[in-house]
Amino acid sequence: MVFQKLASLIVSSGELIPAFNNSVFSYTVSVPNNQDSVTITANPISSTVTLDINGQLLTSNVPSNPLSLSVGSNVFSINLNSIDIVDSSTYVISIERARCKLN
């Protein structure tokens, strides 16, 4: 089986940990409490794949619609499927939105 891979993966806020490497399929991102949404931009290496994030269809190299963040952990799966559905892969980003600080 051949895995579909991304050429790039960008989150609009925060930093991917570890830094993006198309052979790494799981990432974490931390954002402050006042960040209530993010967009994710994915660019596959192959032009013959479909992309979605948690079921929301994406266009290659175009930011997703805003993805709402709850306080705590938010998990987003970026699915790549070849047009013939034979080859696929999934990148996972866990985004941790900080809790509100009490004075």
Give the pLDDT of residue 4: 87
Q: Are 31 and 68 in contact (CB under 8 A)?
A: no
Question: How many domains, the chain?
Answer: 1
Q: Give CA–CA dist 93/27, Å, rounded.
A: 5
CATH of the domain at 92: 2.60.40
Q: Give CA–CA dist 101/15, Å, rounded.
A: 21
Range of the domain at 56: 6-97
Give the pLDDT of residue 15: 96
Q: Does residue 103 form part of some domain? A: no
Q: Give CA–CA dist 10/32, Å, rounded.
A: 17
Give the pLDDT of residue 83: 79
Each residue's pLDDT, cut to its tens digit, for the chain (103 residues) gives: 457 899 999 999 999 999 999 999 999 999 999 999 999 999 999 888 999 999 899 999 999 999 999 999 999 999 998 877 677 899 999 999 999 876 5
Give the pLDDT of residue 85: 64
Q: Does residue 46 form part of some domain? A: yes
Give the pLDDT of residue 10: 97
3-state class of 83 per DSSP?
Answer: coil
Q: Does residue 57 form part of some domain? A: yes
Q: Does residue 71 form part of some domain? A: yes
Q: Give CA–CA dist 46/55, Å, rounded.
A: 20
Q: Does residue 102 form part of some domain? A: no
Q: Does residue 1 form part of some domain? A: no
Q: Does residue 47 form part of some domain? A: yes
